[in-house]
Each structure stands twice: as structure tokens, then as C-alpha cells.
Amino acid sequence: MDRQLNTFQRIYKNPYLQFLIVGVLFALLPTLRAAGMVKAGTVTVIGTTLIYTIAALGLNILLGYSGLISLGTAGFMGLAAYCSAYFTEQLALPFWQSLILALLIPTVLGVIVGLLSMRFVGIYLGIATLAVGEILSEIFRQWDAFTRGTSGARAKYPKIFGMQLDQTGMYYLIVIITIIVFILVYQLLKGRLGRALNAMRGSEAAAMAMGISVYKYRLIAFGAATLLASLAGVLYVHYIRISYPTIWGLPLSLDFLAIIVIGGLRSIYGTLVGSFVIFAMSELVLKQIPYMENYSLVLKGVLIIIFILFYPYGLAHVVSDLRMRLGRRKTKVHPLAAKEEDIDG
Amino acid sequence: MADLMKHEATLLDIKNLSIAFGGLKAVDDLSFSINQGEIYGLIGPNGAGKTTVFNCITQFYKPDQGELRFRNKKGDIVSLTSLPTYRVLEQGIVRTFQNVELIRELSILDNVLIGAHIDYEKTTVLDELFNTGRRRREEKKQIEAARRALQFLGIDHYRLFPAGSQPYGIQKKVELARTLMSDPKLIILDEPAAGLDERETVELADEILRIRKEYDTTILLVEHDMQLVMKICDRISAINFGRLLATGTAAEIRADQKVQEAYLGVDA
Amino acid sequence: MSEFFGIILRSLEYGSIYALASLSIILVFRTSFTTNFAQGMIAMFSTYFVATLIHKSGLPLGVAFVLGLIFALLLGFLIDIIVIRRAAKLSPVGKQIITLGVLSIILGLTPNIFGVYDLNMPKFIPQGDMKIAGTSISYNALLNIGLGLLVMLTLYYVLHRTKAGLAIRTTAENAPVARLMGVSTKLVTMFAWGVAGCLSLLAGMMASPFSQVSTTFMNDIQITAFLACLLGGFTTFFGAVAGSYIIAIASNLLQVYLPQGTVWGKPILYILLIGFLFLKPFGLFGKRYVKKV
Ligand SMILES: Nc1ncnc2c1ncn2[C@@H]1O[C@H](COP(=O)(O)OP(=O)(O)OP(=O)(O)O)[C@@H](O)[C@H]1O
Ligand SMILES: [Mg+2]
């Protein structure tokens, strides 16, 4: 950013332009389908993948930037999905009102978990969020009046600005929201707030000495993460139009974790790429290969371990990682390396 | 309270400070005070409690007993013990750590910018979310300030490297640069010369003197390198087992019987 | 009154299961400095192994169990050697993510190796019960309670009275110092993972007759064991055991005395525990410490 760039570089290196181009590429998909070049199912898979990207981006703010692990992402996403289905179907609220409530309720809960997190030493947080996720799962299973239990809660394509969306319309909405989320997250994290979260993760002592209120920024991180998970949940339930309790369990939360570890901690494009690896690949590629489908969990686990150990910056940085391994100059540091105090226990 | 901060020139007054861990009295009834514009040294053998004193001043530890009064940026006298850790900086006290505390994966520039965190008062989270003009101007201003601090210490050309990838000497300077960002009244340095070679130590002495002058500030430092301490400190307190041995000028400390005993074998 | 007593008595059986599960978590925690999220999966996987030996190979329970213990021991060794050892330089959160990767691998392997059907697990003692102070309890439950206590006493003895135990404790206190003293921390860690595997299997064997052997049957036990460890302060073996019995009793009381307790008992218990830990983050027995900077 400090080097002099020529005009051409200045244009293609402009992050906003890049986001827009990505958005336009995704938006082309329904047209390609109409031309018979891709299957209808593919569009749905990619729409869902974008939805998962939004939730995973939330987890990336929490884990990647702030170093706070959460195993409850799926639970919060599910809660928002059920809320939106309940408000629009059972209570017949307009989509907008329902949207606001469905974002607000899980986010408030997420902030409460953030408050709890203040008291838990970092590594116990995983356990606390695991328990929270389990509590939510239990609620989804048991509270039939709210979730319709195992028969599933149904929802419709929404009506916005007086326009009734169909499946393709909903896909466009997802693309637009994804790109807006990318831009906002990029802006939010590229400056002071991003540095404060980084400081909290990298050295809590330094953060406090530099006037950063760990309390405030943990709440912001939890709030942002649950808000994005909730947004993803609402989009999901109005795109797939049904929600079952079994979707929102620990395996999905692990998928989000795999996405950001494999795609890249603290990277927006990494999160997108990770989502494609975890969701789109297994839907579009692995299912075509005999036996492979049965091993998708194994593959995910192996990838998580390999990436954490050897490519800790994820796919987003695989090329520069490789160059670093081959090259002499050490210009990168492992993002999850232990500090002195960790090793003594 | 009555006899605390009675002189206009007093910046920090430490009175009867005590803290214990389990049975161990790490700091024991310690008192000394620092005047504005001084370079003040705190010395003592390993485990004497020097870092613990710093941690009490900056509220990383809450002392068991004692008073800590500070004349803050606004000129008011505040009791530091009533503050949460993160609010010590805004009073005008900034510190470095004995074991360098940097965010290893972030660039050196970003690390220094973290030191400016509280200076962004006027930009809100919403300014950041929508990348308003105010935010962009503020960011530009701070980057310029950070680069000035880096240039001041001669490491501006490293600014885009991750902090953790640099040698120890550079990392120490990054920490120092970070303290300069918050317009501090008192800079607390915990063993700034540890791990530096002889040439770097001489450089450091010069830099500390220049910082006092150009940033118009006061410096309190812990250091084992006696040459450095004797050369730049206006006054020195020597402690052992958490207790004060002596306070005075370099010459007075060097001549002190108790200090010599505590440093038995170490050249003082 | 006798109903109340009966609840307490039956809670001891579940307490033993939780205690074994939480001991294996602490054992790994003290030597590898991470919370092993895969522990429940290790239990599930090796219990499946035993159940498969019984059903497919027709082995008697005792033989299958002994083979299962060897299997669990080796599984623990293997996980440590292949993965955990390489992660020694990672931050605690990095290691946690690694254990989640292990969880995913084991969960994915299970149906491929042992099939997709749930299996029945016979009890150690198939039938018969006795009366104590007006309530009846099965011989099997008594055996489980006894087995739990026996394992704990053995572990206590090994940790505090033998050389191997000393090596484990020094590793837990301070790994670099332990290495300087000539302790092979690698070996200690490997055995900790192996023994943790065996304890988990035992927990799985005790728990599976209550439900069936399935990929999910250890999930609740794993979470409860984690919470028991937190309740006990997450540092001492004693704390984890005490936490386990307290939670088992509390859980049974909630299920019986709460309206719709069987449905909502579990989430309410979790909420109560999280609330308690918010008030006392170092648990019942953990010591508060000031972080050095
Ligand atoms: N958080 C803590 N918990 C327990 N003991 C502590 C803590 N912080 C410091 N101590 C103890 O207090 C004593 C003084 O430690 P301190 O770090 O202040 O010494 P120091 O003078 O800075 O030594 P050095 O020159 O080696 O840095 C030591 O015995 C140390 O072990
Ligand atoms: Mg010190």
C-alpha cells in the first residue's frame, strides 16, 4: 500500500472493485443455468455455500482475529433460522420485522456468551460454547411448538420491497448480501478495531497496556460473530425453506472451523475458498466419486490437522507459505504458535 | 495522602507499596517518587521485585497495600489503584515488557499503530464499518505519526515485516516505538537493553535521552546493565527482596554499602 | 426419604462413568496442555470395537473387553505419535483445533469400519439386584460403582506412590524442568494418551448398556465430563472426580424433581453449571492465580 502503483495495478488491486467482480461472477450463475451450462442443483449448492461463508466469516472474526474459539456457531445459526421461520409462518410477521427479531435474539444471546467468556480462561471457552451449542440443540429437538421438532419448521421465499422472490431471486439476494458483508467486514477490520482484536489475541498484556478494553472488544467480537451467524441462518431457512434440528449440531460447527482453518484465518477470500472446499466440493465433487462421500468427515479432519500444522495461513496463503518454506528469508510466523507461558502449562 | 505529591514537580509518588504471592513478599513497604522530566532507574538483583513494582504501577497487579499517585495528562492527581488496567494508559503512563509483548503476525507498522489506540477517540465503530472520511483522515494521520516514531528509532524500512520475524533488537525497538504513540507523560521500560549487543546498547542510551527531549516526557527504567543505568539515570533506587536499599544519584548508589552487598560479585 | 436415597445411590453409577471420562480428560490436559475434544469419540470408537467383537466374532464379553483395552491403549498411543506430538509447539487453541480434527476423523471412520447400525452392549452382570436401605440396585450398578472407585484408587496410588507417577506429575508441573531431570516427557505423554483411552473405554462400556452403542452415545457424557472438570477447577484429578459425582447427583435430582425433568433436566443442568462457573471461574477447588507478565 505504500509502494507506487501504476494505474492498472491501482485498479485491479482496489479491494472494492475485487469484491464487486466476485459478486458479478456469482450473479452470472443463474444465466449460465438458463443457457444450460450448469445444473440447477449447482446453483443451489453455491447459494448455500455463500450462506455458510457468511457464518464462517463471523467465526473468523472470533477465532482468527480475536483468538476466541467457539463451537456454538451452528447453534446460533439454527436459532436464527427457527426464529425467522416461526415469526414469518406462525406469527405471520412481515419479513423485515421478522428479520430484525431473528437477528437480534441470537445476537443478544451471543453477547451474553461473550460476557460469560470474560470469566473463562481462553481454553475453557471451547467447552463453554460446546455446552451452549448443546443446550440450543436440545431446545431445537424438544420444543415442538417453536421448532416443529423432527418434522421440521417450514418457511417461504421472502417478499421484500413488495417483490415476491422466487428461487433465483433469493439466490441474487444471497449474492448481494454476501458481497455487502464482505465489504463491511473488510472495512470494519482493516483499521483500529481489527488491530485491537489482533492485539487481544496476540498479547492480552500488550492490549491492556495500550488502553484496549478487552471486555469491550470481546463483546464486539462475539456480537459480530453471532450477528453474521444469524444472518446466515435467516438466509438459509428462506432459501432451503425447511429447518431440521439435526442440521444445527456440532458437526456443522466443526465445518465452520474447518472452513476458516483450511481457507485461511483472518482472510475474507480464504473463508470463501474454505467454504467451497468444505461444502461445494463435497456436494459437487466428492459425491461423484465412489466411496469418497463416506469419507468426507475423515477428509475434513485430515485437512484440518494438515493445515494447522503445515499451512497455518490456509489456502489463502498457500503459495507464499510454500515460497517461505523454500526460500531463505523468514518473513512469516505461525499464527497459532505457543507463547512461552503456554508451554510451562 | 497529605504528604503525597506535595511538590509541584512530583509526577509519580509511590508510598508503602506491598504485594505478596502466596507467602512470598515480592514488594515490601516500598516508597519512592519520580519528578517530571527525570530518567529514573530501578535496580536490584534477579527476583528483587522490580517487574512487580512496574506491574503494580500499571495495574496489572493490584497491590495489597500502599498508595500510587500520579499527576495525569490533565494535571489532576489520580490514585492509580482505582483504575482498571486498560485505563492507565489514558492517564499518561505507558510501558514495555520484560518479555517483549508484540503481536507477532502483524506488521511492525500495525504493532506501532496499536499504541495509538486511544488516540482515535473521535472515530466510532460505525465510522469504521462505513469507512467514513473522518476515519480515513484519522488513519492517515496515525500512520504518519507511527512512521515518524519508527524513523526516530531508525527502523522505518522494516515496517511492513511481521514483527515476530525480526531479530530481538528490532522487536525491542518496535515496543519502544509503540510507547511513543500515546503522547505519554511517563514511559516505563523493563530491561530495555536485555539481549542487545554492546553497540546496540550504546545506541539505546542515546535514544532514551533523545526520547526524553523530543517527546518531552519522563522515563522510569529497570536495567541490569549498570553502565547504561549509571550513564543516563538522574536518580536511582536500588531494591532487594522487595525492600528499598537506597535512593540517590549514580555516584551515591555506587558508593552505598548495602547496594554493594546485594550485588556481591556483580560489578556495581 | 428412601426415594431420595435411591436417587443418590443410582447417581453414584453415573458418577463413576463421568469420573472415568473426566479423569481421561485431565490426564491428557496435564501432559499435553489441551482439552481433548476427541476423548468421547475415542470412547465411542473403542466401545464399538468391543461390541463388534461380541456380535460379529462371538467373543465372550470379558475377552472382548480385554482386547478392547489393548485397542484403546494403542489408539491413544497412535493419536499421540501421529498428531499430538507434532502439535507440541502450537498454542492451546491450536491444539484444541487439532483434537477437533481427530474427532472428525474418528467420527468419519466409525461407520466405515463398524457399520452404520447401533449395537447392543451387554452388562458386565446381566441381571440380579439387591436391596440397600429400602431401595434396590442392580449388581451391575454396584460393580460399576466399585470399578470406578478401584480405578481411581489405583490411579491415585500410581500417581503418588510410584516412579511413573512422579514422572507424570513433574511433566504436568513443568515439562522443561521434567526434561532436565531426565524424564522422557514424550513417553509420559504417550502413556497418558493410552491410559486415557482405556479409561474412556471403561466409561463407554459402563454407559452403553443404558442406550446402545452409536456414534453419538458418548456425546452427553463427554460434555458433562468437561463441565465436571471445570467444576473441579481443571487442575487436579481429585477435583474432576468430585465434580463428576456432584454433577451426577444434581442431574438425577433435576430429572426426578423438576416438572418435565427428563426433557429439560439436561439443558437446565448445563445452564446452572455455566452460571456457577461464571461466578466461580476456577471451580470449587481451583486456585485463583495472577498471570505473570
Ligand atoms: N504473578 C506472580 N505469581 C507468583 N509469583 C510472582 C508473580 N510475579 C512475580 N512473582 C515473584 O515475585 C518475585 C519478584 O519477581 P519480579 O519479576 O518482580 O523480579 P525482578 O526484580 O523483575 O527480577 P528480574 O531481574 O529477574 O526480572 C519473584 O520471586 C517472582 O517469582
Ligand atoms: Mg523483571
* Pairwise CA distance, residues C147 & B136, whole Å: 67
How distant, in Å, are the alpha carbons of C46, C121, C199, C274, C278 from that of C17?
15, 15, 9, 21, 25
pLDDT at A1: 44
Same domain? For A326 and A224 the reply is no
pLDDT at A84: 93
Q: Cβ contacts (< 8 Å) between A255 and chain C: which residues?
A: none
**Sign of the alpha-carbon torsion through A233, A237, A238, A239:** positive
Cell output for A292 = 469418497
User: Is there a contact between C293 and B97 if contact means CB atoms under 8 Å apart?
Assistant: yes
- Strand pairing partners for C213? C119
pLDDT tens column, A170-200? 999 999 999 999 999 998 888 889 999 999 9
Residues 6+ apart with CB under 8 A from C95: C32, C33, C34, C84, C87
Same domain? For A121 and A144 the reply is yes
Cell output for B263 = 550485588
Nearest protein Cα to ligand 1, atom 25: B46
| Integer Rg of chain A from CA | 20
The dihedral over CA atoms of B83, B84, B89, B93, expressed in degrees to the nearest 10, equals 50
Q: How many domains does chain A have?
A: 2
Band of pLDDT at residue A105, cut at 50, 70 and 90: very high
Ligand 1 interacting residues, C-beta cut-off 6 A: B 21, 24, 26, 44, 46-52, 98; C 290, 292
- Give the atom of ligand 1 at the shortest distance from the alpha carbon of C291: 1
For an interface test with C, give the residue of A73, A124, A146 to mutate (most C CBs within 10 A): A124
pLDDT at C226: 93
* Pairwise CA distance, residues B5 & A335, whole Å: 46
* Pairwise CA distance, residues A21 & C257, whole Å: 60
Chains that touch C (3 or more CB pairs under 8 A): A, B
Same domain? For A232 and A151 the reply is yes
**Sign of the alpha-carbon torsion through B81, B86, B87, B92:** positive
Same domain? For A324 and A270 the reply is no
User: Is there a contact between A205 and C293 if contact means CB atoms under 8 Å apart?
Assistant: yes
Pairing between β-strand B243-248 and β-strand B77-79 as defined by DSSP bridges: unpaired
- Which of C:4-23 have CB within 8 Å of A? none
Distance from CA of C31 to the nearest CA of A (A): 9
Whole-number average pLDDT of chain C = 89
Whole-number average pLDDT of chain A = 86
How distant, in Å, are the alpha carbons of A131, A135, B191, C265 from that of C247?
14, 16, 49, 12
Chunked mean pLDDT (size 10), chain B, 268 residues = 68 92 89 92 92 94 92 89 93 93 91 87 80 84 91 90 89 93 93 89 92 93 91 92 90 85 61
Same domain? For A80 and A187 the reply is yes
Nearest protein Cα to ligand 1, atom 17: B51
User: Ligand 1 pocket: which of B51, B62, B240 to mutate (most atoms <8 Å of CB)?
Assistant: B51
Distance from CA of A208 to the nearest CA of B (A): 5
CB–CB of B44/B32 below 8 Å? no
Nearest protein Cα to ligand 1, atom 26: B46
Distance from CA of C287 to the nearest CA of B (A): 11
* Pairwise CA distance, residues C203 & C182, whole Å: 34
- Strand pairing partners for B71? B77
User: Is there a contact between B97 and C290 if contact means CB atoms under 8 Å apart?
Assistant: no
Query: How many Cα atoms are found within 13 Å in the side-chain-facing hemisphere of A159?
Result: 8
pLDDT at B208: 94
pLDDT at A135: 92
Nearest protein Cα to ligand 1, atom 29: B47
Angle between helices C237-257 and C261-279 (to 10 degrees): 140
CB–CB of A205/B60 below 8 Å? yes
Instruction: Decide: helix, strand or coil at residue B140.
Output: helix
Same domain? For A292 and A340 the reply is no
Nearest protein Cα to ligand 1, atom 12: B26
Same domain? For A301 and A322 the reply is no
- Give the atom of ligand 1 at the shortest distance from the alpha carbon of B55: 18
Burial degree of A164 (CB within 10 A; 0-12, 13-18, 19+): exposed
Total beta-carbon pairs less than 8 A apart between chain A and chain C: 159
* Pairwise CA distance, residues A211 & B91, whole Å: 10
Q: Which residue in chain A is spatially nearest to B54 when comparing CA positions?
A: A209
Chains that touch A (3 or more CB pairs under 8 A): B, C
DSSP state of C88: T
User: Does pLDDT of A2 surpass 60?
Assistant: no
Band of pLDDT at residue A327, cut at 50, 70 and 90: low
* Pairwise CA distance, residues C178 & A343, whole Å: 12
Q: How many CB atoms lie within 10 A of CB A205?
A: 21
- Which of C:163-222 have CB within 8 Å of A? 172-176, 219-220
Beta strands (DSSP E) in chain A are: 153-154, 159-160, 163-164, 242-243
| C279 in contact with B, Cβ within 8 Å | no
DSSP state of B106: S
Instruction: Decide: helix, strand or coil at residue C91.
Output: coil
Distance from CA of C241 to the nearest CA of B (A): 26
Residues 6+ apart with CB under 8 A from A241: A154, A155, A156, A157
Query: Angle at CA A275, nearest 5°, toward A12 and A22?
Result: 25
User: Is there a contact between A123 and C93 if contact means CB atoms under 8 Å apart?
Assistant: yes
Burial degree of A256 (CB within 10 A; 0-12, 13-18, 19+): buried
Band of pLDDT at residue A343, cut at 50, 70 and 90: very low
Cell output for A267 = 482472510
Q: Cβ contacts (< 8 Å) between A196 and chain B: which residues?
A: 114, 117
Burial degree of B73 (CB within 10 A; 0-12, 13-18, 19+): middle
Same domain? For A290 and A328 the reply is no
* Pairwise CA distance, residues B101 & B104, whole Å: 9
Q: Cβ contacts (< 8 Å) between A184 and chain B: which residues?
A: 129-130
The continuous run of DSSP H or E covering B43 comes out as strand B39-43
Burial degree of B1 (CB within 10 A; 0-12, 13-18, 19+): exposed
* Pairwise CA distance, residues A118 & A122, whole Å: 9
Chains that touch B (3 or more CB pairs under 8 A): A, C
User: Which ligand has the nearest atom to the CA of B44?
Assistant: 1
- Give the atom of ligand 1 at the shortest distance from the alpha carbon of B224: 25
* Pairwise CA distance, residues A234 & A189, whole Å: 24
User: Ligand 1 pocket: which of B46, B52, B58, B224 to mutate (most atoms <8 Å of CB)?
Assistant: B52
Nearest protein Cα to ligand 1, atom 2: C292
Instruction: Between C219 and C7, name the one with better pLDDT.
Output: C219
* Pairwise CA distance, residues B224 & B42, whole Å: 9
* Pairwise CA distance, residues C13 & C147, whole Å: 10
| C293 in contact with B, Cβ within 8 Å | yes
Which residues from B are below 8 Å from C when comparing CB atoms?
21, 51, 55, 60-61, 97, 99, 101
Instruction: Decide: helix, strand or coil at residue C141.
Output: helix
How does B248-262 read in b/e, with b if 16+ C-beta sit within 10 Å? Answer: eebeebeebeebeeb
User: Is there a contact between C94 and A138 if contact means CB atoms under 8 Å apart?
Assistant: no
Greatest alpha-carbon span in chain A: 64
Same domain? For A140 and A169 the reply is yes
Q: Which residue in chain A is spatially nearest to C280 when comparing CA positions?
A: A119
The ranges assigned to domains in chain B are 1-92+185-268, 103-182
CB–CB of C129/C138 below 8 Å? yes
* Pairwise CA distance, residues C71 & B74, whole Å: 69
pLDDT tens column, A114-166? 888 887 777 788 888 999 999 999 999 999 888 888 888 888 888 888 888 88
Distance from CA of C289 to the nearest CA of B (A): 9
User: Does pLDDT of C111 surpass 80?
Assistant: yes
* Pairwise CA distance, residues C189 & C195, whole Å: 10
Q: Cβ contacts (< 8 Å) between C290 and chain B: which residues?
A: 21, 61
Which amino acid does the sequence have at A316?
A: A
CB–CB of B31/B17 below 8 Å? yes
| B102 in contact with A, Cβ within 8 Å | yes
* Pairwise CA distance, residues B242 & B63, whole Å: 13
- Domain hosting A336: range is 317-345
Residues 6+ apart with CB under 8 A from A130: A71, A72, A250, C37, C223, C226
* Pairwise CA distance, residues B214 & B216, whole Å: 5
Same domain? For A337 and A219 the reply is no
Q: Which of A128, A135, A309 sits opposite C86 (nearest CB)?
A: A309
Instruction: Between A161 and C195, name the one with better pLDDT.
Output: C195
- Strand pairing partners for C2? none
How distant, in Å, are the alpha carbons of A108, C185, C202 from that of B129?
20, 49, 53
Residue % of chain C over a pLDDT of 70 = 98
Cα A200 to middle of ligand 2, angstroms: 23
Instruction: Decide: helix, strand or coil at residue B190.
Output: strand
pLDDT at A282: 76
Pairing between β-strand B39-43 and β-strand B218-222 as defined by DSSP bridges: parallel
Distance from CA of B152 to the nearest CA of C (A): 27
Cell output for A202 = 496476540
Query: Angle at CA A206, nearest 5°, toward A203 and A212?
Result: 105
Same domain? For A73 and A160 the reply is yes
Q: Which residue in chain B is spatially nearest to C290 when comparing CA positions?
A: B61
* Pairwise CA distance, residues C220 & A131, whole Å: 9
Query: How many Cα atoms are found within 13 Å in the side-chain-facing hemisphere of A149?
Result: 5
Q: How many CB atoms lie within 10 A of CB A122?
A: 17
CATH number of B1-92+185-268: 3.40.50.300
Q: Backbone phi, then psi, for A244, in 5-degree steps?
A: -110, 150
Cα B53 to middle of ligand 2, angstroms: 9
* Pairwise CA distance, residues C249 & C15, whole Å: 7
The continuous run of DSSP H or E covering C194 comes out as helix C185-207
pLDDT tens column, C11-55? 899 999 999 999 999 999 988 888 999 999 999 999 999 999 999
DSSP state of B156: G
Ligand 2 is an ion; residues with CB less than 5 A from it: B 51, 98
The ranges assigned to domains in chain C are 2-230
